[in-house]
Structure 1
Amino acid sequence: MDSTRHQLPQKKIIRIDELKDMGYSFYRIKKLIEENILKKLTRKSYENLIYEGDESDFYYVNAYVPRGVICLISSAIYWQLTTERSTAIDVAIPRSDRIYTMPEWPQIQLYFYSNMRYKTGIVTIHEDSNQFSIYDPEKTVIDILQYRERLGIEVAKEVLVQYLAKKDRNLNRLYRYAKELGNSKILRTYLEVLL
């Protein structure tokens, strides 16, 4: 299928407002679904079945969890801070958010963060026309230390060791996040053990 024939944006997940802005009527969108060009994911998002670019499960997060931010193990894998493998995408959302539709695949594991923890350290990654929000490496380390009991002490240690070995690490930012989010003591304890 030629995506230029349909003039769809060259991206995996397309929001309804993007289609409407391009002049697509509900009738035409319905036709594209019948022709297996679009697949409805939620009330506001569609999967572009003729997309030919790079694929990532992270692209689906925006469709199901609009304010979701990739976090914890999923973020650590992305930044190459762990050898762990995840069965679900870890996604942080504000405590006040409610999510009503979740996909069977990819699996999404939600974490409800306080406002301060949620807002700190978000970066937006752009890949072609696709994008997703993820926590930067420093915030990922601090969150994993916060959730070390749930994720495993060894995982927390590995993530911190891998982070400290990185040439582009930013220790000032790491300490600032730890202080702002009340994790200074645990960070200090881990650093004393490792160094």
Structure 2
Amino acid sequence: MNYQDKLERLIDVKDGLIFTKEVEEAGIPRQYLNILVKENKLERVAHGVYLTPDTFDDEMYILQAKNQRAIFSHETALYLHDLIDRDPIEWSVTVPYGYNATHLRNEGVKVCTVKKPLYQMGVTELRTIYGRPIKAYNKERTICDIIRNRNNMDIAILNESIKRYLGSKDKNIPLLLRYAKELGVQNYLRKYMEILL
């Protein structure tokens, strides 16, 4: 099998979305990406990111692939966990302090920063609507994050998502309370729980 056939098979396995680093890891010279671009079998959508023309543009997956330190959070995580009904107007991500996220803000992404020790707390793997893996915060971390950010949030979204979380079968209250303590929002969380329970 020649390199081009090997690359086309790899693209099929990856559902039409391929990264330069994956091509290199497979031992295929990167110039074969350019050959497929010239043949209109691939389109370069960002630095090191290629899509087949018939593949849906999976924005969330591409955003995170280009910015591996970005973790979906806040309203976007609420949406991914089905804790709100409306699609987010803009994607929300969290990055560690010190990460230069100017390019993300320029793309219309809402960026939150957090101290490095708290950055990985509650990270889980979810799936985009196209079935590709992405990193987001779990429900408990997300609830704590929106309470921390309550002054910049729509109060209806805040109340609805907390109410939905508390009514869900897979809630983990001990974990929620532990995260609330670490993130310094336990008193606010207790107030919301008293009101909404």
**What TM-score bracket applies, with the shorter chain setting the length?**
0.7 to 0.9
- Tell me: CA distance 1:40–1:95, structure 2 relative to 1, closer, same or farther (3 Å): farther
**More deviation in 127-136 or 148-157?**
127-136
* TM score, norm. by length of structure 1: 0.84
Question: Which protein has the bigger helix share?
Answer: 2
- Alpha-carbon distance between aligned partners in 2 of 1:18 and 1:110, rounded to the nearest angstrom: 27
Q: How does 1:142-157 map to 2 (within 5 A)?
A: 142-157=144-159
- What is the aligned counterpart of 1:96 among 89, 95, 98? 98
**More deviation in 167-176 or 122-131?**
122-131
- Alpha-carbon distance between aligned partners in 1 of 2:127 and 2:6, rounded to the nearest angstrom: 21
2:185 maps to amino acid: N
**Which residue pairs with 2:192 in the alignment?**
190
Q: Cα deviation per residue 1:70-105 (whole Å; 9 max; x = unaligned)?
A: 111111011111123312111111122124655998
**More deviation in 15-24 or 36-45?**
36-45
Aligned residues: 190
- What is the aligned counterpart of 1:38 among 13, 35, 42? 42
Q: How does 1:1-195 map to 2 (within 5 A)?
A: 6-7=8-9, 8=11, 9-51=13-55, 56-99=58-101, 101-102=103-104, 107-125=108-126, 130-195=132-197
- Whether contact under 8 Å (2:71, 2:137) holds in the other structure is yes
2:133 maps to amino acid: Q
Deviation, 1:63, is: 2.7
* TM score, norm. by length of structure 2: 0.83
- Tell me: CA distance 1:37–1:99, structure 2 relative to 1, closer, same or farther (3 Å): farther
Deviation, 1:57, is: 3.1
1:19 maps to amino acid: V
- Whether contact under 8 Å (2:122, 2:137) holds in the other structure is yes
- Whether contact under 8 Å (2:95, 2:119) holds in the other structure is yes
CA RMSD of aligned residues (A): 2.7
- Whether contact under 8 Å (1:64, 1:103) holds in the other structure is no
For structure 1, list consecutive stretches of 5 or more residues without a partner in the other structure: none
- Alpha-carbon distance between aligned partners in 2 of 1:25 and 1:129, rounded to the nearest angstrom: 28
Q: Cα deviation per residue 1:141-160 (whole Å; 9 max; x = unaligned)?
A: 11111111111222211111
Structure with higher RCO (Cα < 8 A, 6+ apart): 1
